[in-house]
Structure 1
Amino acid sequence: MSQVNKKTAQMTQLTLLIAILVVLTFTPLGFIQIPPVAITILHIPVIIGAIAMGPVCGGILGLAFGILSMLKATFMGVSPVDLMFSPFASGAPIQSLIMCILPRVLLGVIAGLLYEALKSRLSNDALSIGISAGIATLCHTIMVMGCLWFFFSAIPLKEVFLTIVGVNGLLELGVGIVITIAVCKPLMKYLKTRVAV
């Protein structure tokens, strides 16, 4: 595959993953409702893109995820926690921007870098994908929750909030690992055959 075709293919893949992020963000498809928590799967396209295309593309997808989450919080936010992600509604615009953008960009970069480091060390590709997805998801959850805690310490009923977030984080971790392995294995096999052509 020529360099121009490779760049075109990569741009197409990035565009498709961003489109998936848009659909997941602004429809109920991006959330699995298990009362009292809602498990988001919005981080999964970012991780898939980072593993399949590298940390730079992962960072771009993470940036898209951050911007989309900020737009959703601004125009469709309903809970007090949602509004903290909006620089227009939180009362702390810089903190909201940092919380929306930085953890999401780092999510993609971490997933991509981890996979690149592990794929040469581990013979099992599914294990490399699973570890990368798991650690990236965990880092993302910790960073977002850390920002909520650090920037917006006036969260009511912190103990209850932390319990729900802990359950939520573990469920998102499990779902993220399973879906990422299920999608990345055949996707990467397909991409290798395309490069060989």
Structure 2
Amino acid sequence: MNKRTNVRWLTQLALLVAILLVMNYTPLGYLQIGPLSASLLTVPVAIGAMTMGPTAGAILGAVFGATSFIQAVEGKSALSAALFSASPVGTFVVCVVSRVLMGLCTALLFQALCKVLPKFPKFCCFAGGLIAPVLNTVFFMGSLVLIFYHIDYVQNLAQSLGAGNALMFIVLCVGVQAIIEWVICCLVAGAVTLPVRKFLKLN
């Protein structure tokens, strides 16, 4: 029984990793809304964290972060290129470590929520779907400000946005895009997780 459970767990993890990679390298991972591009990559991380636990959440977060770090190495955007040029190690922390923490903490907070509200699985699933993108924004932007706020590129960006301090920079930088990501991940991850957990008899 243990072996069967392990095989199922690995199969589910592999499937979610594959989905995450496909989303990352195709337009499926990003929703273009006018000039804004909302990332949907937190969705498979949230689903894995809620259905498979902290280890899976951390692994999926690491995969998500690795794709982001590779894009920084390749200089896919002016911001990522500036960060990597300033500090490759710092960029790794911002891209990868923050996403590992996001996946891990999403699973832990979801488990705690399920213990506190065992009779409200639907609420817990949608709340977990919201927790993931919120933590992604907090950890990513928080680590970026802590490590890179002093570099010229970020300072120039802050000035162009009219941000007088680091907190205002975060608010202006994420803006409407973050809210769109939070809503989409909440709805999609929650809607998928609820029936999956019932099928796996996790509730």
Q: 2:49 — aligned with what?
A: 50
**Residue 126 of structure 2: aligned partner:** 130
For residues 84 and 29 of structure 1, do their structure 2 counterparts lie closer, same or farther at Cα, with a shift above 3 Å needed? farther
Instruction: Map residues 46-195 of structure 1 onto 2, 5 A cutoff.
Output: 46-75=45-74, 77-84=75-82, 87=84, 90-122=85-117, 123-153=119-149, 154=152, 155=154, 156-158=156-158, 159=161, 162-192=171-201
Is the alpha carbon distance of 1:70 and 1:127 closer, same or farther for their aligned partners in structure 2, counting shifts above 3 Å? same
- Structure 1 residues 93 and 164, CA gap change in structure 2 (3 angstroms): closer
- Residue pair 1:66, 1:101 contacting (<8 A) in 2 also: yes
Superposition misfits of 4+ residues, deviation over 6 angstroms: none
Q: 1: CA distance between counterparts of 2:44 and 2:66?
A: 15
C-alpha offsets along residues 163-189 of structure 1, whole Å, 9 cap, x if unaligned?
351211111111110011111011112
Provide the TM-score with structure 1 as the length reference. Answer: 0.87
Task: Give identity over the alignment, percent.
Answer: 35
Q: Give yes or no for contact 1:137–1:173 (8 Å, CA) kept in 2.
A: yes
Contact 1:84-1:96 at 8 Å conserved across structures: no
CA-CA distance at 1:126 after TM superposition? 1.5
Contact 1:73 1:83 in 2 (8 A): yes
Q: Structure 2 unaligned segments of length 5 or more: list them.
A: 163-168
The one-letter code of the counterpart of 1:134 is L
Verify the 8 A CA contact 1:66 1:105 in the aligned structure 2.
yes
- For residues 42 and 113 of structure 2, the distance between their equivalents in structure 1, rounded to whole angstroms, comes to 20
Report the alpha carbon displacement of residue 100 of structure 1 after superposing the two structures with TM: 1.1
- Asked whether the equivalents of residues 42 and 132 of structure 2 are also in contact (C-alpha less than 8 Å), the reply is no
- State whether residues 127 and 190 of structure 2, in contact with CA within 8 Å, keep that contact through their aligned partners in structure 1: no
Judge conservation of contact 2:38–2:177 (CA < 8 Å) in 1: yes
Question: Structure 1 84/178 Cα, relative in aligned 2: closer, same or farther at 3 Å?
Answer: farther
RMSD: 1.8
Which amino acid is 1:33 matched to?
Q
Q: Partner residue of 1:35?
A: 34
Structure 1 residues 10 and 127, CA gap change in structure 2 (3 angstroms): same
Number of equivalences: 188
Whether the 8 Å contact between 1:133 and 1:177 is mirrored in structure 2 is: yes
Which segment drifts farther, 151-160 or 31-40?
A: 151-160
1:14 maps to which residue? 13
Q: Calculate the TM-score normalised by the size of structure 2.
A: 0.85
